[in-house]
């Protein structure tokens, strides 16, 4: 464990304790540490920024109510992922209309070639369009494993499933996405000829 | 030639298979163009998914944070305030109790019956003597009997009698002026 990580965990432990005792500024610091992760995951799951903001708000309010349950600081991030997934699933059941989020990659990684950039952007749009069509469990598995970078075991723990189930969901989801993108690109290239 | 299933190729792109399956599929891809193209598409898909997406907008993050802080349940703080209120009330009650204990009027001293009676007798007119009842303050403490009232009882052809009632109704003291040292204590029982 690196010194920075140890320091971060000590601070995390300190802030959890203080937030548990009713210190709202300590809770705000906990939020600052995890808000990007929560909102980003919610955006990937809901594909809608406004719904994602509502979901993130609900996740952090649930965190405040459940601060007493964290005995180990390492429980916090997986718990937040799990809660984000659950809240987003509930949110999706309530609201069907969606305003697509900006799925563009980080501007720092944009390719300089305009044609290449356009092609990559189109491919990315198609990929996220395919993700939007996935059943919620498969979408959650792909978001956690392939976008958030969790291991299969971590994704399984977050989703409360076995590794085997999550592996199956991921492989099925990837196959669906590949097929969707390939078909759309094939149609587009056929139409342009 | 047996082709691997598409789901297996999907997992092959990230190495999510056991070593034997990975080795078997790698050998197959060397020989099968169709499966290799499919595996390449999964690689490309992984590249798209792994490309860091733009982080959430700072304004959106700030907005979420503000909404959360405004809607925080105040249960914990309320509980602390309630406990502090109880402690403060207990402290105030303790201070009031101690203050009253320290500044409460001291119980009246027990006045010996004989000097009081003698002083009263010295002021008595010679005759005629009216019956008087002198109100005396009662003792605060109920434990020891204190002075209740003093009355001069006129008796025809006889010396008047001083009747001293105590706070205990069972005890009455009778004195005669000529023999102040002779005391008689009567009991009402």
Q: State the Cα torsion B8-B12-B15-B21 to the nearest 10°.
A: 60
Chain A residues inside the 8 Å CB shell of B49: 127, 142, 146-147
Judgement on whether residues A4 and A36 belong to the same structural domain of the protein = yes
> In this structure, what token pair is assigned to residue A83?
């809660």
Task: Give per-residue burial for B83-116: e unless 16+ CB within 10 Å, then b.
Answer: eeeeeeeeeeeeeeeeeeeeeeeeeeeeeebeeb
Domain identity same for A44 and A87: yes
Which ipTM score applies to this complex? Answer: 0.76
Of B54, B68, B76, the CB nearest to A102: B54
Instruction: Calculate how close chain B gets to A172, using CA atoms only, in Å.
Output: 6
Structure tokens of B141?
A: 């403490």
Asked if the structure places residue A46 within a domain, the reply is yes
A93 lies in the same domain as A12 = yes
CB B173 within 8 A of CB B166: yes
Is A181 a domain residue? yes
Domain boundaries, chain B: 6-50, 58-103, 113-187
In a domain, A92, yes or no: yes
Q: Please answer whether residues B132 and B103 qualify as being in contact, where contact means their C-beta atoms are separated by less than 8 angstroms.
A: no
CATH of the domain at A25: 1.10.1740.10
Of A178-192, B16-30, B92-106, which has the strongest mean pLDDT? B16-30
Which comes out higher in pLDDT, residue B8 or A108? B8
Considering only residues B174 and A51, tell me which one the structure prediction assigns the higher pLDDT: A51
Residue pLDDT, tens place only, B75-106: 555 555 566 677 788 888 888 888 777 766 65
Find out whether A18 and A24 touch, Cβ atoms under 8 Å. no
Examine residue A132 and state whether it is found in any structural domain, yes or no.
yes
Which of A18, A19, A22 to mutate to probe the B interface, most B CBs <10 Å? A22
- φ, ψ of residue B107 to 5 degrees: the values are -60, 145
Residues in chain B within 8 Å Cβ distance of A140:
none
A107 vs B54: CB contact, 8 Å cut-off? yes
Distance separating alpha carbons of residues B161 and B64, to the nearest angstrom: 96
Of A24, A39, A147, the CB nearest to B56: A39
At A191 the pLDDT is 57
**pLDDT at residue B113 tops 70:** no
DSSP A16-29: HHHHHTT-HHHHHH
Q: What is the mean pLDDT of residues A8-20?
A: 82
Examine the domain organization and report whether A120 and A93 are in the same domain. no
Residue B42, min C-alpha distance to chain A (Å): 7
Over range A172-182, report the average pLDDT: 94
Whole-Å CA distances, A85 to A44, A76, A153, B27, B109:
10, 14, 16, 38, 82
Which pLDDT score is estimated for A121?
A: 83
Per residue in A49-75, pLDDT tens?
899 999 999 999 999 998 888 766 667
Chain A residue closest in CA terms to B39: A178
Q: Considering only CB atoms, which chain B residues are within 8 Å of A171?
A: 7-8, 10-11, 16
Structure tokens, A131? 């993700």
Using CA atoms, how far apart are residues B179 and B183, in angstroms rounded to an integer?
Answer: 8
Question: Among residues of chain A, what percentage have pLDDT more than 70?
Answer: 80
- In the beta sheet, which residues pair with residue B135? B149
Whether residue A88 sits in one domain with residue A20: yes
Is residue A76 located within the same domain as residue A167? Answer: no
Percent helix, strand and coil across chain A, each to the nearest 5: 80, 0, 20
- Note whether A92 and A132 are same-domain residues: no
pLDDT, greater one: B139 or B35: B35
User: Do residue A39 and residue A82 come from a single domain?
Assistant: yes
Determine if the peptide bond prior to B61 is cis (ω within 30°).
Answer: no
Cα(B48)–Cα(A183) distance, rounded to whole angstroms? Answer: 17
Q: Contacts of residue B79 in chain A, CB cutoff 8 Å?
A: 22
Cβ-Cβ pairs closer than 8 A, A with B, add up to: 120
Looking at chain B from residue 58 to 87, which residues have their Cβ under 8 Å from any Cβ of chain A?
A: 60-61, 63-65, 67-69, 71-73, 76-77, 79-80
In a domain, residue A10? The reply is yes
Res B152 pLDDT > 60: yes
Q: Using the beta-carbon criterion (under 8 Å), do B6 and A152 form an inter-chain contact?
A: no
- Taken in order A32, A38, A39, A41, is the CA torsion positive or negative? positive
| Residues of chain B neighbouring A49 (CB-CB closer than 8 A) | 57, 60
**pLDDT for A174:** 95
Q: Can you tell me the distance from the alpha carbon of B122 to that of B111, in angstroms, rounded to the nearest whole number?
A: 17
Residue A77: both structure tokens together: 């991030």
Distance in angstroms (rounded) separating the CA atoms of residues A80 and A26: 17
Q: Among A97, A122, A153, which residue terminates a domain?
A: A97
Answer whether residue A135 shows pLDDT above 70.
yes
> From the CB of residue A168, how many other CB atoms can be counted at a distance below 10 Å?
16
Nearest-CB residue to A178 (from B8, B45, B57)? B45
- Put simply, the chain B residues between 15 and 44 with a CB less than 8 A from any chain A CB are 16, 38, 41-42, 44
pLDDT at A12: 83
| CB neighbour burial string for B124-139, b if at least 16 within 10 angstroms, e if fewer | eeeeeeeeeeeebeeb
Average pLDDT over residues B145-155: 74
Domain check: are A86 and A139 in the same one?
no
Range of the domain at A6: 1-97
Q: Which of A179, A63, A6, A131 is nearest to B42 (CA)?
A: A179
- Structurally, chain A folds into a number of domains equal to 2
**Shared domain check, A82 and A162:** no
pLDDT value, residue A154: 93
Higher pLDDT pick, B86 / A3: B86
Q: Is A106 within a domain?
A: no
User: In this structure, are A89 and A120 located in the same domain?
Assistant: no
Same domain flag for A84 and A134 = no
State the Cα–Cα distance between residues B53 and B64, nearest whole angstrom.
19
Share of chain B above pLDDT 90, in %: 26
A105 located within any domain: no
Contacts of A146 in chain B (CB under 8 A): 14, 46, 49-50
Q: What are the C-alpha distances in Å from A191 to residues A86, A182, A186, A187?
A: 41, 14, 8, 6
C-alpha A1, offset from chain centre? 25
Q: Which residue's structure tokens are 């003291």?
A: B173
Residue B180 has pLDDT above 70, yes or no: no
Higher pLDDT, A92 or A24: A24
| Cβ separation B45–A127 shorter than 8 A | yes
Cross-chain Cβ contact A120/B48 below 8 Å: yes
Higher pLDDT: B50 or B21? It is: B21
């Amino acid at each position: 464990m690196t010194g920075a990580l140890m320091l971060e965990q000590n601070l995390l432990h300190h802030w959890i304790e203080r937030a548990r005792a009713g210190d709202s500024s300590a809770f705000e610091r906990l939020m600052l540490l995890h808000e990007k992760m929560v909102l980003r995951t919610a955006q990937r799951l809901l594909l809608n920024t406004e719904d994602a903001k509502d979901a993130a708000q609900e996740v952090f309010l649930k965190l405040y109510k459940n601060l007493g349950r964290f005995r180990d600081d390492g429980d916090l991030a997986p718990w937040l992922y799990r809660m984000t997934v659950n809240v987003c699933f509930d949110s999706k059941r309530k609201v069907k209309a969606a305003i697509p989020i900006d799925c563009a990659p980080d501007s720092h990684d944009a390719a300089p070639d305009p044609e290449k950039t356009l092609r990559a952007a189109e491919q990315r749009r198609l990929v996220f369009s395919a993700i939007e069509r996935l059943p919620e469990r498969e979408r959650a598995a792909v978001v956690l494993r392939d976008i958030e970078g969790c291991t299969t075991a971590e994704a399984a723990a977050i989703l409360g499933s076995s590794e085997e189930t999550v592996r199956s969901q991921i492989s099925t989801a990837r196959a669906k996405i590949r097929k969707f993108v390939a078909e759309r690109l094939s149609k587009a290239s056929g139409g342009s000829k | 030639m047996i082709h691997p299933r598409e789901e297996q190729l999907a997992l092959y792109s990230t190495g999510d298979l056991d070593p034997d399956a990975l080795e078997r599929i790698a050998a197959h891809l060397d020989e099968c163009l169709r499966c290799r193209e499919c595996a390449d598409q999964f690689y490309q898909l992984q590249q798209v998914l792994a490309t860091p997406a733009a982080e959430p907008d700072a304004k959106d993050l700030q907005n979420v944070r503000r909404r959360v802080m405004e809607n925080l349940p105040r249960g914990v703080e309320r509980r602390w305030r309630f406990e502090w209120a109880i402690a403060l009330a207990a402290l105030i009650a303790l201070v009031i109790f101690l203050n009253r204990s320290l500044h409460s009027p001291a119980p009246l001293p027990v006045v010996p019956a004989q000097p009081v009676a003698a002083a009263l007798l010295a002021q008595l007119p010679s005759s005629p003597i009216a019956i008087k009842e002198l109100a005396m303050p009662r003792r605060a403490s109920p434990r020891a009997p204190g002075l209740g009232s003093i009355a001069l009882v006129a008796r025809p052809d006889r010396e008047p009698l001083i009747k001293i009632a105590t706070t205990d109704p069972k005890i009455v003291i009778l004195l005669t002026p000529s023999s102040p040292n002779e005391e008689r204590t009567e009991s009402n029982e």
